[in-house]
């Protein structure tokens, strides 16, 4: 599948990371990384398990504080915000969890209504209903409205998880291993959905993955995170044309057809 060209504004940064360091005791996880995500852009962060990809995400949403460096999201320096300001910023950030993180005791409709009614108290029942149906249509699962999460396939749960994130109309999407644990056909469907979300909602996204097919099909740019630094950033083809043995080893281990 060829990724469609998208309207990326290179003059506006949705996320800006400069000189970011993060350690846990003697474990140095991030060692001075720089990364910009422009408005409307999908940036894939590739790397092996334990290379700091999830730590980066937690810093972006204010769950962890950097040791040093500057992290700006939508123009705001995240670790300088009060809790109230951070909560307000998080309303503009959608986080699609690896596990989908649906509430097992709620049906699909209730799972989608929950973040909306928690954050926007003044919505009418009609507005809530319309929002739920809109995002279910967007992920192609309007027919699952009254089903329980336990009745859904893994790919359907991923889609509902993305729908629940979209219902708050975020400007930024953070995807954590979106294709993990899925069969190849469902992986392709999720990759396509990520691109459709970018097109329809004009989101700026970071996609954390070690799946090369996901990286190739969803990323406008790819950033290779190895040994705590971005060793190469560029198009998928540019990154894997690099002769760095670590990059080639990663490619060969995660062989892509």
Over its length of 257 residues, how does the chain's per-residue pLDDT go in tens digits?
Answer: 556 666 788 889 999 999 999 999 999 999 999 999 999 999 999 988 777 888 999 999 999 999 999 999 999 999 999 999 999 999 999 988 777 778 899 999 999 999 999 988 889 999 999 999 999 999 999 999 999 999 999 889 999 999 999 999 999 999 999 998 889 999 999 999 999 999 999 999 999 998 999 999 999 999 999 989 999 999 999 999 999 999 999 888 876 54
Q: Are residues 10 and 71 in the same domain?
A: yes
Residue 60 belongs to a domain with what CATH number?
A: 3.40.50.300
- 125: tokens are 């029942």
Among residues 147, 169, 191, the one where a domain terminates is 169
Neighbours of 187 (CB within 10 A): 20
Tokens 């360091």 correspond to 21
Residues 6+ apart with CB under 8 A from 3: 195, 217, 218, 219, 220
Among residues 144, 169, 194, the one where a domain terminates is 169
Neighbours of 75 (CB within 10 A): 10
Q: Are residues 2 and 88 in the same domain?
A: yes
Q: Are residues 154 and 197 in the same domain?
A: no
Q: Are residues 179 and 79 in the same domain?
A: yes
In this prediction, residue 4 carries a pLDDT of: 63
Describe the chain by its helix, strand, coil percentages, rounded to 5: 40, 25, 35
Q: Are residues 25 and 82 in the same domain?
A: yes
Number of domains in the chain: 2
Q: Are residues 105 and 74 in the same domain?
A: no
Q: Are residues 76 and 146 in the same domain?
A: no
Residues 6+ apart with CB under 8 A from 114: 103, 106, 164
- CA dihedral sign of residues 110, 173, 24, 87: negative
Neighbours of 120 (CB within 10 A): 14
In this prediction, residue 68 carries a pLDDT of: 97
In this prediction, residue 257 carries a pLDDT of: 46
Among residues 112, 141, 169, the one where a domain terminates is 169
Residues 6+ apart with CB under 8 A from 12: 38, 39
Q: Are residues 23 and 144 in the same domain?
A: no
C-alpha to C-alpha distance for 157 and 112, rounded to whole angstroms: 12
Q: Are residues 84 and 136 in the same domain?
A: no
Q: Are residues 129 and 8 in the same domain?
A: no
Q: Are residues 154 and 245 in the same domain?
A: no
Q: Which domain holds residue 140?
A: 101-169
Q: Are residues 73 and 2 in the same domain?
A: yes
Residue 104 parent element (H or E): none
Q: Is 104 exposed, middle or buried (0-12, 13-18, 19+ CB in 10 A)?
A: exposed
- 10: tokens are 């290179």
Q: Is 136 exposed, middle or buried (0-12, 13-18, 19+ CB in 10 A)?
A: buried
- CA dihedral sign of residues 142, 148, 151, 157: positive
In this prediction, residue 230 carries a pLDDT of: 95
């Amino acid at each position: 599948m060829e990724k469609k060209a998208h309207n990326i504004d290179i003059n506006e940064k949705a996320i800006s990371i400069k000189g970011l360091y993060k350690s846990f005791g003697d474990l140095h996880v991030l060692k001075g990384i720089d990364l910009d995500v422009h408005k409307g852009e999908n940036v894939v962060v590739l790397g092996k398990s334990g290379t700091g990809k999830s730590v980066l995400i937690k810093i972006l949403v204010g769950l962890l504080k950097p040791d040093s460096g500057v992290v700006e999201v939508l123009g705001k320096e995240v670790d300088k915000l009060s809790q109230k300001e951070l909560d307000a910023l998080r309303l503009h950030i959608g986080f699609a969890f690896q596990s989908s993180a649906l509430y097992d005791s709620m049906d699909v409709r209730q799972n989608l209504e929950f973040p909306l009614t928690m954050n926007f108290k003044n919505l009418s029942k009609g507005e809530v209903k319309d929002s739920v149906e809109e995002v279910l249509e967007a992920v192609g699962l309007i027919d699952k409205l009254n089903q329980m999460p336990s009745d859904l396939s893994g790919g359907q749960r991923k889609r509902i998880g993305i729908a629940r994130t979209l219902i708050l109309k975020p400007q930024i999407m953070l995807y954590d291993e979106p294709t993990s644990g899925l069969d190849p056909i469902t992986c392709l469907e999720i990759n396509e959905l990520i691109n459709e979300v970018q097109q329809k909602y004009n989101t700026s996204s970071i996609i954390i993955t070690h799946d090369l097919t996901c990286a190739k099909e969803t990323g406008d740019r790819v950033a290779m995170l190895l040994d705590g630094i971005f060793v190469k950033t560029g198009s998928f083809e540019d990154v894997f044309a690099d002769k760095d043995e670590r990059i080639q080893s990663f490619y060969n281990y995660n062989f892509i057809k």
